[in-house]
Chain A
Amino acid sequence: MKFKYFLPVVALFFAFSASAQQVEFVEYDLDNGLHVILHQDNSNPIVAVSVLYHVGSKNEKEGRTGFAHFFEHLLFEGSENIDRGEFDKYVSSAGGVNNANTSTDRTYYYELFPSNQLALGLWLESERMLHAKVDNKGIETQREVVKEEKRLRVDNQPYMQAIFTDIPAQLYKKHPYKHSVIGSMEDLNAAQEEDYKEFYATYYVPNNATLSIAGDIDIEQAKKLISDYFSDIPAGTTEIPRPNVVEDPITTQVVDTLYDKNVQIPAVLYAYRTPKQTDKDAYTLQIISSVLSDGQSSRFVKNIVNDKKLALASGSFLNAQEDYGSFIIYGLINQGVEVEELAAAMDEEIVKLQENGITERELQKQINNLEKQFIQSNRSMAGIAESLADYHVYFGDANLINTELDRYREITVEDVKRVAKQYLKSNQRVSSTVYPGDDSKTSN
């Protein structure tokens, strides 16, 4: 009789482990400090090659804002062995695609190739790390490109001036998060040769980088190629500066009135300083943000937008970062509504959250959604390479790619209430109202 159950139990066990869909990976360091993470998946003949440099706008010196992002552009210019303009061409004619991005905390480069081009990807990235080359024409060209990008993404976009520039400047008084990633064009103009050399020598070194590769590879063969291209790159000789700045708490509400020439509809924005992204409370704030604004049935969308019709759009987002985060709540005013009316409705929702918390069903709904997002973020090799690198560098555990959802599952409805009370206090926030108009009139 006993045996009768044996087979189904085994089958169940296998079924369970198969549906857990573990992302397997190996990781190790080269002697020069380069951290390597490899994920093998031979189901499609493609490979994602990425390098994450642990440097972002928060590492910039005073007077050199925008430098990290500018550097990202410059490092497509070429190297000792790659002529100007050829970098992208190598990728494209090998049937690949590539790009890069910069945030407050990181600079990330990646290529996606047919898998027989792995060596090309490693060559390109090692050239970038070993001896990138920039000439004057490149600097001038990229400065124009960055200015164009600033016009496109910040200067000509409604509310972006408030979100990227004005609010950070109020939330942070000492920490470099007070500057926007795009930075100031004057600072870029003021840069000197020494600045470029120092930035590259300090941050673009193997001991500050993570090489993350996912896709159709053979692990041993990949290790050999990585050693060929990267092991001779010398480690950096200077200590890598990381800001270690503690902000004083905000104790009285900062009220800001802003004007934005791109804006046609006034907006109410509340911004709160929140803990670093590894803190459990940061996870809870993510849940809170979803309760308030994820989907048509969320609280802000249902109550403020659809029922009371006070706002054309209203919601929230958590900007999770390495040292501190920010939680931003917004509302775009509907026609005929007073700013105060919308602000009061937004306040009411926050107070409701602090006093009554959320229901178990609401919490479960967020977990259900996070579960799906979490699983879907592993659907592409590019996504897996990026997540592995991020979890390793910023959370110290690449395996969170498999286990992070458990951290959300530990959150209780009591946590939600406590966190809402602790971080979303009105005396701890920046309250900004953005009106249509000339930004020179902005007063803080």
Chain B
Amino acid sequence: MKKSLLSILFIVFGCAVFAQVDRTKAPEPGPAPIINLDEPQSFTLKNGLTVIVVENNKLPTVNMNLFFDVPPFVEGDKAGVTEFFGSLLRAGTENYTKEALDEELDYNGIDLFAGSQSIGISTLKKRLPTAVSLMKEVLFNPTFDNQGELDKLVTQSITGLKSAEKNPDAIMGRVNAAVTYGTDHPWGEYATEETYQNITLNDIKTHYNTYFKPNIGYLTIVGDVTFKEAKKLVKKNFKKWKPGEIPAFEYAVPENPGNAEIALIDLPTATQSNIFVTNVQDLKKAEGDYFAALLGNHVLGGSSFAKLFLNLREDKGYTYGAYSSLDNDHRMRSTFTASAKVRNEVTDSSLMEFYEELNAIVNKPLTKEDLKIAKSERTGRFALGLENPSTLATYARTIFREDLDGNFYSNYLKALNDVSASDVQKAMQRYIKPQNSRVFIVGKAADILPDLQAMGMPIKFYDIYGNETGDPTQKVDVGDVTAEAILGKYLDAMGGKEKLEAVQTMHMTYGSFIQGLDITIDMKAMVPNKTSLVVSAPGMGELQTMKFDGTKGSIGGMQGSAEFDEKQNMDTAARHAMFPELTFVENLENVQVDNIVEVDGQKAYKLLFSLPSGLEEERYYNVDSGLLVKTVTVAESQGQQMISTSIISDYKAIEGIMTPHKMVTETGGMVIDMSLVKGTFDEGVTEADF
């Protein structure tokens, strides 16, 4: 009989060997290698362009990168210009259309890259002249007249924003920056649908005319060129380039709160809490304690062997990963951040562990072993990084830009090695401020708030755009308005109860566009409770169907077919096929007025409907118009809950009945944006449709 896998305790492969070396322990490293940090050569043209040359003839290739040290600035109502800039810079020049440029680059095997503060090429040495002339063409002769390219970028970016609307990472990035720096700060502002749409080709051109100037330019040339060759090439091509005046800006100085506080962003669909414990700080490379700070953060959260990871993941199992980062910037304050994504129910426990580790790194000196390993890991990273010759060029540029001591990088490893445990502790006390942190949490407030409140830290609430709000779980006083009145107002606004009751059938066709497919959603209904929904696409037929014949329902299509379960049958059978309010208004004991909330910027009553199955449905009615503006339904399938949210708008009358012409439904991470194509009442729908 074969042994089952479970009975195997150990599998030892191979056999014992008398080795020539002691295999029982890891070999000691050899003497620390000498790191070759040849200083790159550099010079500056009269127009201010700084040129850095790293000669490296290991491969017959050359990389040229022209970087503009553009000061951070506020884009305001045109936020997004810098995102689009690079694509538009290379979308057509005086002598090349975009297509001709593509062909010329592809034929010569030249990579050309462009961004809002850089342009560069990567080429074989023998095609350097062609590469330089194409780079010059894009740099000096862009036409900025490719409206088609701009339109494409706007559409793509808006689609991107929409698909990221409930993405916890996107929300964290935006709110964290906006609250820490303020939205009038270059690092705090963010792009929206509106700001993208405000952008014109002229704005792109203005950015070019303002910032693509040699006096803030650093041209790094790396590869198979001598300094002499490089100098000649630069003089020939960039000498005549005229400098320009670069605007200067003042920035607001961000401050930490007097006491640590929680900034909670409610995301009702979140299954995890995204936690960022942050403070602003002044770390700069030029500071004497830079290396101590680097090592301290490394021990705290710089790898998968660091304190945060070992505690929150390996020991507690709260998360897949926990890390920290300590940024530095030569112009302004940057941030320290410790972060993890954790299960909802351990949000408060995780926060306590974060504080445990942050307080420890600030209050206790590192052990010798921790410090030694951290030095070794950072030394290795530095050495491995030097394999790429561009690293040397970047270092040289950093010395210029941040006005560092010329030996900053050549002394790097010595400086790391000289750091003591008490140096680290002092640096941690200076840059990490657990008692003055902001703790950003993007999560489901209803689940996590009570535990967070029990921790005793002050809590502020923000919406997903960084605006401060009230407690999202707190109910507004709805006054003495009754469910009966709200439903009555709705029925009146729709066209009147009698009119709705007289309708026998309904047929609504909506169009949508999902992931490159034109979709048609065909909805039919018949009194008392028959419904049908068919999703189809041209050339592909029916993608999905959902039908209810009055007693039983089924789902079909490419996703497989299934019968409604008992609960679904029960709930669907009990409600009016077209206007469920007609049913609920007769069963007011099942309706509860819950709250007043904002839906699309307008006040709405939130009503809770108890369904026969025991499930609950949320329906929201605009306080002023009375119309239904939002629904949240829960379906259960195999123990899994599926929440689907619809935002309903653009009501227009069809045969005297107010009919929504727009519906945006979000379910299972997918957003379906539907527009009414055709709607009729009492026309053409028969029993056979169900």
Contact = CB atoms under 8 A, between A and B. Distances in A.
Contact of A81 (B23, B108, B383, B518): B23
10 contacts: A45-B34, A114-B32, A126-B23, A264-B516, A265-B516, A297-B99, A376-B61, A380-B388, A435-B540, A436-B543
B639 interface: no
Nearest to A298: B106
A228 B517 contact: no
Interface stretch (B8-16, B165-173, B193-201, B425-433): B8-16
B375 to A, nearest CB: 9
B2 A194 contact: yes
B480 interface: no
Contacts of B383: 44-46, 95, 114
A133 B34 contact: no
Contacts of A302: 99
B518 A336 contact: yes
Interface string B285-321: 0000000000000000001110000000000000000
B57 A131 contact: no
User: Nearest 10 A-B pairs (CB), nearest first?
Assistant: A95-B380, A437-B558, A264-B515, A45-B33, A116-B30, A119-B27, A295-B106, A296-B102, A131-B14, A372-B109
Instruction: Tell me which of B9, B518, B559 has the highest count of chain A C-beta atoms within 10 A of its own C-beta.
Output: B559
B107 interface: yes
A220 to B, nearest CB: 14
B540 A94 contact: no
Interface in B90-114: 99, 102-103, 105-109
B574 interface: no
Given A361-B107, A375-B61, 18 more contacts: A21-B60, A41-B58, A93-B376, A94-B380, A95-B381, A114-B33, A115-B33, A116-B30, A116-B32, A192-B3, A204-B13, A232-B17, A233-B17, A261-B559, A295-B102, A296-B106, A365-B106, A437-B560
B688 interface: no
Interface string A112-138: 111111111011001100111111100
Contacts of A200: 13-14
The SS class assigned to the B binding surface is loop
Nearest to B127: A368
A19 interface: yes
A444 interface: no
Interface in A191-211: 191-194, 196-197, 200-201, 204
Interface in B42-76: 57-61
A370 B127 CA distance: 14
B454 interface: no
B518 A123 contact: no
Nearest to A196: B11
A117 B29 CA distance: 5
Contacts of B518: 335-336
A136 B560 contact: no
Contact of A197 (B11, B127, B379): B11
B14 A118 contact: no
B125 interface: yes
B222 to A, nearest CB: 11
A80 B16 CA distance: 9
B513 interface: yes
Given A259-B558, A312-B516, A437-B559, A134 B305 contact: no
B33 A216 contact: yes
Contacts of B543: 436-437
A76 B58 CA distance: 34
A123 B515 contact: no
A438 B20 contact: no
Nearest to B33: A45
A193 B8 contact: yes
Interface string A180-199: 00000000010111101100
Interface in A292-318: 294-298, 302, 306, 312
Contact of B20 (A232, A372, A375): A232
Interface size class of A (residues with CB under 8 A): 35 or more
Given A264-B515, A265-B515, A45 B540 contact: no
A141 interface: no
Contacts of B27: 119-120, 122-123
Contact of A18 (B57, B106, B516): B57
A376 B389 CA distance: 13
Nearest to A224: B20
Contacts of B502: none
B391 to A, nearest CB: 10
B40 to A, nearest CB: 15
A167 to B, nearest CB: 20
B535 to A, nearest CB: 11
B376 to A, nearest CB: 5
A232 B18 contact: yes
A229 interface: yes
Interface in B584-643: none
B33 A116 contact: yes
A334 interface: yes
Nearest to A380: B387
Contacts of A400: none
B479 interface: no
Nearest to B372: A93
Contacts of A134: 10-11, 13
Nearest to B391: A44
Instruction: Tell me which of A234, A333, A336, A372 has the highest count of chain B C-beta atoms within 10 A of its own C-beta.
Output: A372
B31 interface: yes
A436 B598 CA distance: 36
Contact of B14 (A132, A265, A337): A132
A127 B23 contact: yes
Contact of B11 (A18, A114, A133): A133
Nearest to B25: A81
Given A95-B377, A95-B380, A297-B103, A335 B11 contact: no
A135 B559 contact: no
A320 B231 CA distance: 44
Contacts of B377: 92-93, 95
A336 B36 CA distance: 59
Interface in A400-440: 435-438, 440
B60 A365 contact: no
Contacts of B540: 266, 435
Interface in B116-134: 123-125, 127
B373 interface: yes
A131 B11 contact: no
B26 interface: yes
A334 B516 contact: yes
B24 interface: yes
B387 A436 contact: no
Nearest to A370: B109
A339 B60 CA distance: 46
Contacts of B35: 45
B248 interface: no
A312 B516 CA distance: 8
Contacts of A261: 559
A231 interface: yes
Contacts of A216: 33
B454 to A, nearest CB: 34
Contact of B10 (A45, A133, A369, A381): A133
A379 interface: yes
B481 interface: no
A334 B125 CA distance: 40
Contacts of A227: 20
Contacts of A115: 30, 33
A441 B671 CA distance: 25
A332 interface: yes
Instruction: Tell me which of A113, A368, A435 has the highest count of chain B C-beta atoms within 10 A of its own C-beta.
Output: A368
A371 interface: yes
Contacts of B456: none
B246 interface: no
A139 interface: yes
A348 interface: no
A165 interface: no
